Structure 1
Amino acid sequence: MKNILLIGLMAVMSSSYADDVSAGRAKADVACALCHGPNGVATLPNAPNLAGQQAFYVSEQLKSYRSGQRQNAVMGVIAKPLTDAEISQLAAWYSAIKVTVELP
């Protein structure tokens, strides 16, 4: 019985996560892609790559911009209207992008 409940809970959580990733991608296409690139690889030299960042990190940075604790003229405007749900969705999207690293 416990296994069935655990499997059901995991299915709900994974479908919810997939929904967050999908919603986050849609939001990123509108609000983030111009500077951070359509796949989280920055197109501007002063914008960081977001692809592969940990969800917690993306979330905390967006919340800091939204509150004004972290200052940036562009990000302050972008983050101000974001809801907690939208921030979670964006964090899910960027953390879901797989990045590979090659040593020199």
Structure 2
Amino acid sequence: MTRAPLLAAALLITSLPCFAAEKGDAAAGKTKVYTCAGCHGIPGWKNAYPNYHVPKIAGQNYDYIIAALNEYKKGERAHPTMRAQGESLSDEDMRDIATYLSSIVP
């Protein structure tokens, strides 16, 4: 009787990785992220004009980056520059960029 629940638990645990979100290629993301540096790479994370705080994205959580880019792409977040960036990215681009950015240790 105790073997069946243990076997079921073991099968469930070993099958969980197949439900995880597919991550992208960090090397490809490093190439694709070049446009992000124009705003997000400024020391102190301030945009030159207009002057507003630009969030730090290096080291950001993978799932957060994916969600944010998708929300910009769909127009659910209001920022014209980021909307244009989001609209220009494929799902693969977003996965690659998120994989690269989330791999950076700030």
| TM-score for both structures, normalised by structure 2 | 0.67
**Does 2:28 align with 1:23?**
yes
**Does 2:85 align with 1:78?**
yes
Residue of structure 2 equivalent to 1:34: 38
Q: Which runs of 5+ in 2 are unaligned?
A: 1-21
Query: How far apart in 1 are the matches of 2:72 and 2:64?
Result: 12
The count of residues paired between Structure 1 and Structure 2 equals 81
* RMSD between aligned residues: 2.4
CA distance 1:82–1:50, shift in 2 (3 Å): same
Q: Of the two structures, which has the highest relative contact order with CA contacts closer than 8 Å and spacing of 6 or more?
A: 2
| TM-score for both structures, normalised by structure 1 | 0.69
Query: How far apart in 2 are the matches of 1:46 and 1:77?
Result: 19
Q: Highest Rg: 1 or 2?
A: 2
